[in-house]
Structure 1
Amino acid sequence: MDEQLMRGRVYGADHDDPDPGPRPGRVYRELVAGPLDGLLLDVTGWTEDELARGAGLPTEIGAHGPGGRARYGPRPGDPRRWDWQGDTP
């Protein structure tokens, strides 16, 4: 895995976690732009269809505040990076 990716923080990691970074043997996607920019999403075990669809990730810091979701999907030509596609309630 690319060295820069290995330094990132994993989405959903506890803020008090002394090691919030990626774990060996797991598969990640880098979230680009939007409220979760720079975080890594653990997609270990996801199917090809799930990976192609992307994800709506709960976040308190998006346009809709608590209860809202930030939508991310694979970047054409670079599926290891998922681009922000907007926020939803």
Structure 2
Amino acid sequence: MRIYGSEPGEQSVEVPGHRYAALIGGPLDGQLIDVTGWSRQQLVDGTALITEHGAFGPGGRTHYEGRPGDLDRLHWIGDTP
């Protein structure tokens, strides 16, 4: 699995002692994001990630949120410019 933020073609390596969540759906589907240090509420609230692959092209953001009881995965909710 590729880790969000790694360079294309770069071997992604999970860092021991870090926590990761899988990105589900949308343009980053199947990638992992390092959520080490995120609180439960931050995981539920989610994040907007910069990506070239979303609906708005380079510099656009794609939004992912967690779901209570399933905080090892963040689900895609849409894109913004």
Scaled by the length of structure 1, the TM-score of the pair is: 0.81
Residue 26 of structure 2 corresponds to residue 34 of structure 1: yes
The CA distance in 2 between the partners of 1:55 and 1:13, in whole Å, is 17
The CA distance in 2 between the partners of 1:21 and 1:30, in whole Å, is 14
The CA distance in 1 between the partners of 2:26 and 2:9, in whole Å, is 23
Q: Give the unaligned 5+ runs of structure 2.
A: none
> What is the 5 A alignment of 1:1-89?
8-17=1-10, 19-89=11-81
Scaled by the length of structure 2, the TM-score of the pair is: 0.88
Q: Kindly tell me the number of residue pairs found equivalent between the two proteins.
A: 81
Query: CA offsets, 1:10-41, max 9 Å, x none?
Result: 00012243x31322111111000100000000
Query: CA offsets, 1:30-55, max 9 Å, x none?
Result: 00010000000001112233222100
- Larger relative CO (CA 8 A, sep 6+): 1 or 2? 2
SS of residue in 1 equivalent to 2:49: strand
- Identify if the C-alpha distance between structure 1 residues 77 and 49 changes in structure 2 by more than 3 Å, giving closer, same or farther: closer
Query: What is the aligned-residue RMSD (CA, Å)?
Result: 1.4
